[in-house]
Structure 1
Amino acid sequence: MSCAQVFTKLTLTAWGASLIIDDALVIVSALVRNAVETTGVTDPNPRWSELDDLKLISVRLVALENSVVIEVWDADPYPPPIKSEEVDAESGRELHLIPLTAHSYGSYPKGTGKVVWAELIVAPRSAQIPPPLPRRQRRSIPEAPSPIPRQQDPEILRRVIEGLRTLDDDPKQ
């Protein structure tokens, strides 16, 4: 599992959108693979000299009210061939899965590159959360008896003070 897929799975799980994780992983895989193929080094064992041309890509998830948008930015300014009739064996092999999986998709230019995005519909929270368990009725608890009122006894206070003074005057310490 790629870093982008782990990020997607953990984020969607934290958001409570676990119903769309499988579709999201397919989309993230396709978008990231396309970004790497168009702007990155695809050789699993590249030479150091090839790494000079390495470009970064960015994966972002956006939570909307009833959907999640997956965005992948890369440095290639040209739109990707997402429609199945445009996809050939050389580029965008997995991009044909996006129209089959996503509710909507597209791309737009951003900075020196582009963002390719796909939106997945998430069931409303009320449909995802099972109904709550029945609640118990509270029993009436009898009130605790009132505490015994304290009374200040001047004689006890005088004896405590005298005892403390004798401790201060004790020569053994």
Structure 2
Amino acid sequence: MKYQKVTVSIFVALLLILGASAAVWHNSPALAKSNAKAPSINAKEAMSKFAPPRKNDKAKTSEPTVRKSRLPQLNVVSEAAVVLNVLPINIIEEMNKGKTLVQIAKEKGITKAEFLQKLKDNENQLLDEEVKAGTISEDHADAIKEGQKDRLTKSLSLKSVNVNDHQSMDMGN
């Protein structure tokens, strides 16, 4: 048994020595970085399949058509900032103090009904502009307008949520 272990270890050592000497002899180090050039890639050509489609232009001289992917986000804080003529960050700061949008509007001298109507008018104007621009269909705009009053009324009574206090944001830390 001892003789077999010695024979195997001599064989492995001999194999390693022969492999190393062959690598040195042929001047091709086994672990050296290859000198082969990396293939060159034309980034414009590779990314062209992801570019927006062009209008039918055989000479390809026109600018690519711009795809409007969706309606701009209807954000009640941004809309309220426009109605109240303040920056959205000011609205957020007040909400972080525990105020609702209605309370913030009352401080500015606007009643809840007036504030709700101004928000609806502002949003309707935005929706009408998007329909004219072709971003959304008339049916889509009508569907948004249909649930508008309930959505805005609910939004006016919400308070700011601290994500650190939110149960679903608890990552076990």
Range of TM-score over shorter length: under 0.3
Indicate the structure with greater strand content: 1
Give the TM-score taking structure 2 as reference length.
0.25
Indicate the structure with greater helix content: 2
